[in-house]
Amino acid sequence: MTRPGVQEAITRVHRAEWARVVAGLTRKFGDLDVAEEAAAEAFATAVQRWPADGVPPNPGAWLTTTATRKAIDRIRRESKRADKQREAWMASADDPGEPGGAIDDERLRLIFTCCHPALAMETRVALTLRMVGGLTVPEIARAFLVQEAAMGQRITRAKAKIKAARIPYRVPAAGDLPGRVSGVLAVLFLVFNEGYLATGPGTDPVRPDLTAEAVRLARLIRALLPDDGEVAGLLALMLLTEARRAARVSAGGELVTLAEQDRGAWDAALIVEGHRLVRERLAAGVAPGRYQILAAINAVHTSARDARDTDWSQIVALYDQLVRLDPSPIVALNRAVAVAELDGPEVALAAVDRLEQRLAGYHAYQAARADLLRRLGRSREARAAYDRAIELAGNTAETAYLTRRRDQLAVAAEPWKTV
């Protein structure tokens, strides 16, 4: 007989404890591979036993004990393995790390190891989702449309490199921390974006599993590094974006623009939480980084009850601030889109056209240009831009939206065809 709620309890405990179990075992045994396997075995044992035995009073401790036993078994089985290397790695794990309490969490070491700059970006993403997020290899493979075997190999190779090259298991020194934290945030942002605007013809346009995982990991890092402004900024940015999820895709599977979204369908609780974080950063009085500015822009959008109430001058001012920090053409494109609301589509189009050389192959550039041309009544050019945007867009909902816009344009431009 299965006790009620045991499945839910296992899922909850898995979310809450996986990273802690892996991190603790990695510290103890100096081997990510041993830690991962033992943690997985311990959870498998829980799945077998808890329905009959009941959930233990302290599930985390039960899992750690079980996993530790599994790890010791494996090490005994493979006693020939290179102990010297492991000992050396364990010595590095025994460094006291940064003093200051909150920062010295095992899980933080795990995150910094998984997001090490010597690993390729896609490897960091996969490793973080596996070791910190607790996703299985098949789940990660599906998330990134990669063959399971290839994803497994990527993770295996990464673990081998960490061990052979001795990527340290520790929180970086204070001087290196900002750069390394921004590397971690880049990984989380990438996971979030893949969920927010999923690519590929066979995928759902929005992948709430990935956005939710990114938010969860961002919350974890926020709890571990509460004073880091960019961590708070990224979490706020994710929350304010995630809040609009239900309104972003229509029942017909079409992307709904910010202006056309049903604002009543936004998640009020997430917006309140996001706004609180943005206010906290404003009150800190420290010059904001990229994520904090992006969060502030999203805070302005989500403060408007109606799209027409949006404070566009505030948004353009924030983009100006962002351009100074990040002079990339993509930021300039987003700024131009905001400028269209403040100074009109003609001014915006001039700014967009200046980016052609660098962004001609970017779907959002073509889509923004198409929209501005449409608003200016330049239908023929708008149509060509929509065609380009549709060709380049990888997201099914976005393609559907762009196609409808283009086809409406054709009708408006050639009214005799409407008969």
Residues at the site binding another protein, with contacts judged by CB under 8 A: 88, 92, 116-118, 164-168, 172, 176
Side chain identity at residue 261, one-letter code: Q
CB closer to another protein out of 157 and 166: 166
CA distance 299 to 235: 12
CA distance 74 to 37: 9
CB closer to another protein out of 102 and 118: 118
Shortest spacing between CB 118 and another protein, in angstroms: 6
Shortest spacing between CB 167 and another protein, in angstroms: 5
CA distance 201 to 101: 47
Side chain identity at residue 246, one-letter code: A
Side chain identity at residue 369, one-letter code: R
Shortest spacing between CB 164 and another protein, in angstroms: 5
CA distance 234 to 291: 5
Shortest spacing between CB 147 and another protein, in angstroms: 28
CB closer to another protein out of 132 and 167: 167
Token representation of residue 389: 């945007």
CB closer to another protein out of 161 and 263: 161
Shortest spacing between CB 20 and another protein, in angstroms: 24
CB of 152 closer than 8 Å to CB of 137: yes
> Residue 50: which residues within 8 A CB-CB, separation 6 or more?
6, 9, 10, 56
Side chain identity at residue 396, one-letter code: T
Environment class of 381 (CB within 10 Å of its CB; exposed 0-12, middle 13-18, buried 19+): middle
CB closer to another protein out of 116 and 245: 116
Shortest spacing between CB 92 and another protein, in angstroms: 5
CA distance 17 to 413: 59
Shortest spacing between CB 89 and another protein, in angstroms: 8
CA distance 128 to 135: 9
CB closer to another protein out of 109 and 207: 109
CB closer to another protein out of 166 and 279: 166
CA distance 41 to 20: 15
- CA-closest candidate to residue 315, choices 285, 295, 344, 288: 295
CB closer to another protein out of 92 and 250: 92
- CA-closest candidate to residue 367, choices 319, 404, 339: 404
Shortest spacing between CB 225 and another protein, in angstroms: 19
